[in-house]
Structure 1
Amino acid sequence: MQETSVRSRDELLARVDEFFDGVFAPLEAWLPRLREQLSERLASGPLTGTQLVALIASDVHAVLETGDRALYGAGYCADDEVVAEGNPLAWWQGPDRSLLASSTFGPGQAAIDLNRLEWYRVPAETHERHVAGPFVDYLCSNEITVTSSLPVMLGDRFAGVVCADVLVASLEDLLLPGLAALGEATLVNAGGRVVISADPDYETGDRFLSGDPDDGRPGDGSRFARSERYPFALVVPGR
């Protein structure tokens, strides 16, 4: 690969990192206030879902309006020691920043086990931030989404996650021209799934068949460059 191509590849991957830095920034800024509010309120027992909505609504709207990232949705998903009754997911989304009116979270046979959801499970296990996706978000938007999540820690105890959603369409607007300039390059996640691609043979969610970005040995001479901060790799066709 020519030196100019390597530089262009690295610059594009840096844009990916910078984009997700910007997604996490308002969540990280909100987190200390949320921890303080929860610690104070939980001193008298767990909250209801309705109380959680009232507690965090203004802060979530501030997250959604912060910076130049095209955030589609944001909110907080509490564990069952924080919200013991009602909906543990307080979530606002869409152009009108409306509250998600219903959820399959909560009690009952149809309830979803949060620990089966990557955006919740990984921060719960690692106590580190995580980026999950792309996936079709059937719980909220029904759009192809990438979810960035931060664990909420009250002392040593995990108390849920704060999250922000970005639609894959927003990433396409930002990155597709640069991917095309590299010669039908592809952005894949850590599991080898296509996030976005300038290669007409690949669509979002496809398994990238040329190799595994985790082992660095593509099958067609492609070159991998992995992000050091996020679970993404950039795949550039061999020349």
Structure 2
Amino acid sequence: MTVTVDVSASHIARRIASTIDPVFAMIDGWRDVLEREIAATTGAAPGADTAASAASLDPVVAALVSPELERAGSLITGAGFVASPGYLADAPWHLAWWLSGSNTFGAGPDPKLRRLEAVSDPDSEQFRDYTTLEWWRVPARTGTRHLTGPYVDYLCTDDYTVTITTPVRAGREIVGLVGTDLYVARLERVLLPVIRESGHPCTLVNASGRIVASTDARRATGALLRLDGLVAALAPLHDVVSATDAAALPGGQTVVPCGDTSLALVLEA
């Protein structure tokens, strides 16, 4: 069923997409550089004698992500590359992930750009298998970009976070993910003034109905928005193809996709 959407709501959805799209483009650019580096290091043909290594890739990753992490006003608070287990010759489990000075996770009295100190020994009690986490599982299964969250990221931020990850390939094989973390509080500061322009009670949710930001203080960040028909209305956002059609819910709410971000506005009458 075609749903007529207020022009201002469509405009707001496009503005939200325009805030997130540059982050997507940046990550895609990082992926392209890493794939070229891996191809140059290992050779394009399967079974090449030279294996990719953390020693060769880590400086490339650092050079890619550091300028954006240090840029004033950047939305991102952490970024890097996470290798598929067993892919790198010198690091069976490996996170090459850097944190900005605004990221307070594990920071000292004078926060600055630094590398995440991740436990990579699977025999350690502190080790965490990152392949079980949504930001790894979904893109590894689908082969496409994924937006995870909001969720409390105990691995990299210890705060409500949105993580965007996309696969890195060598030939047809997924050899890792490249991605970034964004503090939800920072996204709220940028997006809430835009959302309020709708003139309606309005909530921004991810494809699972989890709240990113809302003009209603009773709707908490990270909680599921429970409305009749919402799960079905959001289902197209899980598709690789961008969802563009608005949907009407039985309770009178309207769901407006925000481009291909996998986010949607839920406007109440």
- TM-score for both structures, normalised by structure 2: 0.78
Quick check: 1:46–1:81 contact (8 Å CA) kept in 2? no
Match of 2:201 in 1: 184
Map of 1:93 onto structure 2: 99
Match for 2:63: what amino acid?
S
In the alignment, structure 1 residue 226 sits paired with structure 2 residue 262: no
Structure 2: runs of 5+ lacking an equivalent: 43-48, 102-111, 234-247
Deviation readout 1:141-160 (Å, 9 max, x if unpaired): 11211111111011100011
- 1:83 aligned to which of 67, 81, 88: 88
Work out whether residues 253 and 266 of structure 2, in 8 Å CA contact, stay in contact via their aligned partners in 1.
Answer: yes
- Asked if the contact 2:168/2:174 (under 8 Å) is kept, the reply is yes
In the other structure, the counterpart of 1:211 is 228
Q: Cα offset for 1:30? A: 2.2
Larger CA deviation: 36-45 vs 15-24: 36-45
Q: Give the Å deviation of 1:204.
A: 0.4
Computed over aligned residues only, the root mean square deviation of the Cα atoms, in angstroms, reads 2.4
State the number of aligned residues: 233
Instruction: Supply the AA of the counterpart residue of 1:124.
Output: A
Letter in 2 for 1:92: W
Asked whether the 8 Å contact 2:85–2:92 carries over to 1, the reply is no
Residue 162 (structure 1) shift: 0.3
Q: Secondary structure at the match of 2:149?
A: strand
Asked if the contact 1:106–1:112 (Cα under 8 Å) also holds between the matched residues in 2, the reply is no
Normalised TM-score (structure 1): 0.86
**Which residue pairs with 1:133 in the alignment?**
149
What are the superposed Cα offsets for residues 182-210 of structure 1, whole Å, 9 maximum, x if unpaired?
Answer: 32210011111111111121010111122
Could you tell me which residue of structure 2 aligns to residue 44 of structure 1? 50
Please identify, of 211-220 and 138-147, the stretch whose mean Cα deviation from structure 2 is larger.
211-220
Q: AA paired with 1:229?
A: D
Aligned with 1:83: secondary structure?
A: coil
Between the aligned residues of both structures, percent identity stands at: 32
Aligned partner of 1:60 among 46, 59, 65: 65
SS at match of 1:74: strand
1:179, CA displacement in angstroms? 2.3
Relative to structure 1, the CA distance from residue 14 to residue 205 in structure 2 (aligned partners, 3 Å threshold; closer, same or farther) is same
Unaligned runs of 5+ in 1: none
Q: What amino acid is the match of 1:171?
A: L
Q: Counterpart amino acid of 1:13?
A: A
Residues 44 and 63 (structure 1), Cα distance of their counterparts in 2 relative to 1, 3 Å cut: farther
Q: Which amino acid aligns with 2:122?
A: P
Aligned residue identity for 1:23: V
Aligned to 1:16: 16
Instruction: State how far apart, in whole Å, the 2-side matches of 1:173 and 1:160 are.
Output: 32
Greater shift, 6-15 or 108-117, is seen at: 108-117
- Kindly indicate which of the two structures has a greater share of residues assigned to strand: 1
What is the distance in 2 between the residues matched to 1:193 and 1:211? 14
